[in-house]
Chains A and B, each alone.
Chain A
Amino acid sequence: MSNDNETVEETTAEAASPVTNVYAPPPRGTAIIEVRDIGKRYGNIIALSDVSTSVRAGEVTCVLGDNGAGKSTFIKILAGAHEHTDGQLLIDGEDHTLSSPRAALELGIATVYQDLAVVPLMPVWRNFFLGSEITKGVGPFKKLDIDFMKRTTKSELSAMGIDLRDVEQPIGTLSGGERQCVAIARAVYFGARVLILDEPTAALGVKQSGVVLKYIAKARERGLGVVFITHNPHHAYPVGDRFMLLRRGKSMGDFPKSDLTLEDLTAMMAGGEELESLAHELAETMGADSAIAQELKADVT
């Protein structure tokens, strides 16, 4: 592990502007984040324990688990919202404890939350640069470089495959999937090399979910490491390179895609024995021949 692969360089294309750190990705497969037996205790409550996985450049690490499995504790550690209490968090091979979201951002780890952190009534380009606005001029006459921001928003979005007609439209007029993508494109533009996506498809319909999955694949293509949190194996499997399953605060394993089929993943997610007992229970109350009990049984076996 060394930092040799990691270079951050100024692009020449927009040399005039102050913020154009475009990340030159390390070779595909280089581990950016490595998590070793990490855990989090709140007093005597163990929220998470013995979790190990890695996030590699150009790969998607899927974190799967049901509600309350510890997914959000895990991403909060990576995002800098909570400090871990056990184990090691290696970033570029060095041991780190992230004390704030800002610290995580400085290391190039950006989180896109479920609520997306967008302001619906503001135009797309204003949202894109919100909090990191580009200005020109000096002193009291410093003003927004509107032209530059509009152009950049449009080109960055089209690099992600989002073709917007008008960056002046309020972001609230975009669909859920598109908004998600603006948030992703924004994180990428501001220097993220690891993207943490917190249940990006949870609130979306089938078609919109597909759109978001496409952009996850796109981010992977650009050489970013992606952490994709979801409870839906059908969303995780097509885009994922590595799967880490959580249940009740414990890791059920960290698998490369080659070791796992979608069926394995689904069965592990659902929790085989739990489904079995549910099937049994249903068979008792509704009769063993009822359609739903039969179906569950088929799923389990």
Chain B
Amino acid sequence: MTTATLADERIARTSTLTKLLKRPEIGALVAAIVIFAFFALTTDAFATPSGSSTWLRGASTIGIMAVAVALLMIGGEFDLSAGAMTGFTGLVVGVLTREYGVNIWAAIFISLGLALLIGAINGILVMRTGLPSFIVTLGTFFVLQGIDLAGTKALTGQVAIQGMTQVPFYSQAKRVFGSALEVQPHWFNLNLGFMRLDFDWSRPLTINASVFWWVGVTALATWILLRTRTGNWIFSVGGAQTASRQIGVPVFKTKVGLFMTTAGAGWLVGMLLIFTTSTVQSNTGVGQEFIYIICAVVGGCLMTGGYGSAIGAAFGALIYGMVSQGIVYAGWDNNWLKAFLGVMLLGAVLLNEWVRKRAETAK
């Protein structure tokens, strides 16, 4: 009934495919499929259970951050402290439990509280001063990096926290953040009709907890963006801040909330890393902040805000995960990854700009 009232004879019935092609994440999806096919065909290890679990795990932690960063970018801001945050939150848990004997769950929640606080400070500074978030979060990035390196050394005398497994109730927390599910995917054999790909499926596929978190975070973010008031506000504060304020959108709350979301995602990834590996290095996450932004941009986010997609950022992270492992399996020099990322970023930016121009001015 509702579609009937909306129908207009001047609009040709658009097929689902045409609608899909207009989505911001479509470029990243196509690229992900191409890259999967490429490495699956050219290397032996890529599409095997152990190979797949490796690149899925790599993509998952990057992906959670990329999705949060994408929300923030749609809201018109950057967060360069996001990478260092993943190390900071893990170190807080490590130091509190190993050095001070704090209960592991208490440490986890203290860490979350600190992360949200730093996120709020980022947001409030940006909104109150009117400075670009690039500068403000560059500041917090360096502060966090300094605390991570110097603080850890001062408190523990080392540059890494190890032996987390000895902490009481470690296994409880590991079940939530660091466990893995093993599936025997007989049904997953690739039989394309015109060709059959024989992979070694004798061993099970290991899916880490982080992958489930990644899927969950992506689904939640997508739902919020497209189906809730908050999502509407995220798009509007990024697209036209003054206009949003005039019309009654709570700009301040929305933006501070976004900074807290990235910080919260940083905490989640920090937990996933520490409970998967049971160690945490004091330089964890440093240098990753730009990778999150690249993934978000590859996924269709505009650098200028107001447009983008959470699921696209997840595809962007999938591409990153696949390429970083695929290059290893293919036996190429690891450093080609950097060049590849640069090319992807430039290509994506050009594509996004073209899409934006069409959306803004086409008549």
- Contact residues in A for B360 (Cβ distance below 8 Å): 120-121, 170, 172-173
Partner of B248, one of A119, A131, A165, A167: A131
- Minimal Cβ-Cβ distance residue in A for B226: A144
Given contacts A117-B246, A121-B356, A144-B227, contact A173 B362 (CB under 8 A): yes
Q: Is residue B240 within 8 Å, beta carbon to beta carbon, of the partner chain?
A: yes
A151 and B6 CA atoms in complex are apart in Å by 6
Asked if A144 and B239 sit within 8 Å, CB to CB, the answer is: no
Closest approach, in angstroms, between the C-beta of B255 and any C-beta of chain A? 15
Chain B residues within an 8 Å CB radius of A118: 240, 243
Please tell me which one of the listed residues B229, B246, B359 contacts residue A133 in the complex, with CB atoms under 8 A apart: B229
Chain A residues contacting B306 (CB-CB under 8 Å) are: 119-122
Chain A residues, CB < 8 A from B202:
none
Closest Cβ of chain A: how far from B329's Cβ, in Å?
40
Interface of chain B, main secondary structure: helix
Contact across chains for B243 and A165 when beta carbons are under 8 A apart = no
Interface residues of A in 155-183 (CB under 8 A from B): 165-167, 170, 172-175
- B252 to chain A minimum Cβ distance, whole angstroms, is 14
- State whether A133 touches B363 (Cβ < 8 A): no
Q: Does A142 contact B (CB under 8 A)?
A: yes
Q: B5 contacts the other chain (Cβ, under 8 Å)?
A: yes
- Chain A residues lying within 8 Å of B229, measured Cβ to Cβ, are 133, 135, 142, 144
Mask for B342-363, Cβ within 8 A of A = 1, else 0? 0000000000000010011111
- A113 CB contacts on chain B under 8 angstroms: 246
A172 touches B359 (CB 8 A): yes
Residues of A within 8 A of B307 (CB): 121
- Min C-beta distance of B218 to chain A, whole Å: 18
Q: Is the interface of A mostly helix, strand, loop or mixed?
A: loop
Q: Please determine whether A130 and B244 come into contact, CB atoms closer than 8 angstroms.
A: yes
- Mask of B141-162 contacts with A, CB within 8 angstroms, 1/0: 0000000000000000000000
Q: Cβ of A130 and Cβ of B232 under 8 Å apart?
A: yes
CA distance A173 to B10 in the complex (A): 17
The answer on a CB contact under 8 Å between B8 and A122 is: no
- Report if B309 contacts A (CB, 8 A): no
Q: Assess whether A76 is interfacial by the CB under 8 Å rule.
A: no
B228 pairs with A143, CB closer than 8 A: yes
Closest to B240 in A: A119
B335 within 8 A of A: no
B177 close to A (CB within 8 Å): no
* Chain B residues, CB < 8 A from A121: 235, 239, 306-307, 356, 359-360
Residues from chain A with a CB closer than 8 A to the CB of B248 are 102, 131-132
Q: Which residues of the other chain, A, contact B11 by a CB distance below 8 angstroms? A: 165-166
* Nearest-neighbor residue (CB-CB) of B6 within chain A: A150
Let me know if B244 and A143 touch, CB within 8 A.
no
B361 touches A172 (CB 8 A): yes
Q: For residues 298 through 318 of chain B, which have their beta carbon under 8 Å from a beta carbon of chain A?
A: 306-307
Known: A116-B243, A165-B10. A130 touches B236 (CB 8 A): yes
Q: B334 within 8 Å of A by Cβ?
A: no
Which of A118, A135, A142, A150 has its CB near the most chain B CB atoms (within 10 A)? A118
Q: A115 interface residue, CB < 8 Å from B?
A: yes
- Taking CB atoms, residues of chain A closer than 8 Å to B232 are 122, 126, 129-130, 133, 144
- Is B247 an interface position by the 8 A CB rule? yes
A117-B246, A120-B360, A172-B359 are contacts. A142–B228 as well, Cβ < 8 Å?
A: yes
Interface presence of B273 (CB below 8 A):
no
Binary per-residue interface labels of chain B (209-251) against chain A in the complex, 1 for a CB within 8 Å, 0 otherwise: 0000000000000010001110111011001101110111100
Q: A166 to chain B: which residues have CB within 8 Å?
A: 8, 11
Interface string of B1-39 (1 = CB under 8 A from A): 010011010110000000000000000000000000000
Residues of chain B with a CB closer than 8 A to A135's CB: 228-229
Could you write out 10 A-B pairs with CB less than 8 Å apart?
Answer: A119-B243, A120-B239, A122-B239, A122-B306, A130-B244, A133-B229, A143-B223, A150-B6, A166-B11, A173-B362
Closest 8 CB pairs of A and B: A131-B248, A119-B239, A117-B243, A172-B360, A117-B246, A147-B2, A119-B240, A131-B247
Supply 10 further A-B pairs (C-beta < 8 A) apart from A117-B243, A143-B223. Answer: A101-B246, A117-B246, A119-B235, A120-B360, A121-B306, A121-B360, A130-B232, A130-B236, A167-B6, A173-B362
Query: Which residues of A are at the interface with B, using a C-beta cutoff of 8 A?
Result: 101-102, 113, 115-122, 126, 129-133, 135, 142-144, 146-147, 150-151, 154, 165-167, 170, 172-175
